[in-house]
Amino acid sequence: MTVPVQGQHLIADVVARAELDANQIEAFMSGVVKHIGLTVIHYWHQDFPNGGAFGPGISAFYILSESHFVVHTAPERQRVNLDLFSCRPFVIEPVRRAMQEAWDVRHWTRWDIIAR
């Protein structure tokens, strides 16, 4: 039995300048969800000034009516990680363009699109 694709899961890891503050990260995320037509239920971010195993940075979360959108930054390591899941398909390319513009991406270490 073939199960139809119900949604998409995008996982992206990049080497980038990753120097955006929490307000800039929220603006990036807001632009993405508006462009691809998702609905924000709640936003939250956490600064990690002293880091940990991942290093100093910011984690930002959108709870979406369609699922979730998460961004983690590690400026000292020049890393940005993105996880975007929606229970319905969405256009992927605008996310890639927005990441490139926001973080001046130098290298894409992971770009996985998973049909769910």
Sorted by where each begins, the domain ranges of the chain are: 26-61+89-106
The pLDDT tens digits of the residues spanning 50-82 come to: 876 778 999 999 999 999 999 999 988 899 999
The pLDDT tens digits of the residues spanning 18-47 come to: 688 999 999 999 999 999 999 999 999 999
Where on the phi/psi map is residue 25: left (φ > 0), alpha (ψ -120 to 50), or beta? alpha
Give the CA-trace dihedral at 10, 99, 63, 8, to 10 degrees: -20
Q: Is residue 35 within 8 Å of residue 19, measured between CB atoms?
A: no
Mean pLDDT, residues 85-94 taken together? 94
pTM for the model:
0.90
Q: Which of 115, 112, 107 is nearest to 14 (CA)?
A: 107
